[in-house]
Amino acid sequence: MNQVYDRVALIGLGLIASSMFWAIKRAGLAGEVTGYARSPETRDTARRIGLCDRICDSAAEAAEGADLVVLCVPVGAMGKVAQEIGPVLKPGATVSDVGSVKRHVIESVSPHIPEGVHFVPAHPLAGTEHSGPESGFAELYDNRWCLLVPAEGSDPQAVANLRALWEGMGANVEEMDADHHDLVLAVTSHAPHLIAYTMVGVADDLRRVTDSEVIKYSAAGFRDFTRIAASDPTMWRDVFLTNKDATLEILGRFTEELFALQRAIRTGDGEQLFDYFTRTRAIRRGIIEAGQDTDAPDFGRGKTAQ
């Protein structure tokens, strides 16, 4: 047993929280895990599948007496949840989150964290296109990165404990500044999601290509776009509204690159296209070498992968 906390509370019970619970149980990282979700249906499902040791009927009830409270709700809802649990947080407890945006979360949550409680924002870079309490699994974080974004003057022990929890769940952990985090994620996650949503939307608008053709002839490129574009709409709406500046900066750069490629195609500049594609191919190789994907045929997803 490598217990890090006596009691952990998970607020919001989707893919990330449910995977955290199974990973915590797998490694014996907490004595008890409480959980809360806003929807009664989700709470019923969690009770039915044995998700969390105790499912509570309010966020405050789940957070009371917990040594670690993790906000696993969409980033737009975190401030409201923090306000609700603030009065019951026990002295010395740590509050964290799993949001894909950090500066906005810090600004909306920090005012509600009482004196003597530590706030250590975090972001596990892991996920699938599936959501909900039944989508979680213990292996989600194995060899994935979790970024900790401690505020200035954070308690070193609180940060060390949270690091131990994430490492115990199988993740590699790095610390990062909030603004840098938001820019990195705009490049690696937020803008690619927006581009995927756009491409799927274009196919939907292009009435000369019928729905059945789009589905029937989906080669790997479009099919992978649809996989990304199937992600949780509430979560992604909040991500773009709360990481506006970094996302707009990266989309501006993307638009410039796109115009350059359009010009190369229009003018028949094969050399520029070849050089560009060679450079981008090297990035893919780097991702595989870093163990963050596989070069197996069809990305190793197999015929059953949706």
- In DSSP terms, 9 is beta-bridged to 34, 69
Q: How many CB atoms lie within 10 A of CB 192?
A: 15
Supply the pTM of this predicted model: 0.89
Q: Is it true that 5-176 and 180-293 share their CATH fold?
A: no
Q: How many CB atoms lie within 10 A of CB 271?
A: 9
Tens of pLDDT, residue by residue over 248-285, are 999 999 999 999 999 999 999 999 999 999 999 999 99
Q: Label residue 245 left, alpha or beta by phi (over 0 means left) and psi (-120 to 50 means alpha).
A: alpha
Provide the CATH topology of domain 5-176. Answer: Rossmann fold (3.40.50)
Domain residues of the chain, as ranges? 5-176, 180-293
| Element of type H or E holding 125 | strand 122-125
State the pLDDT at residue 304.
40
State the pLDDT at residue 303.
46
State the pLDDT at residue 299.
62
State the pLDDT at residue 300.
60
Provide the CATH topology of domain 180-293. Answer: 6-phosphogluconate dehydrogenase C-terminal fold (1.10.3660)
pLDDT along the chain (306 residues), means of 10: 93 97 98 98 98 98 98 96 98 97 97 97 92 96 97 93 98 97 95 91 77 76 85 92 95 96 97 96 91 77 46
C-beta of residue 53 within 8 angstroms of C-beta of residue 135:
no
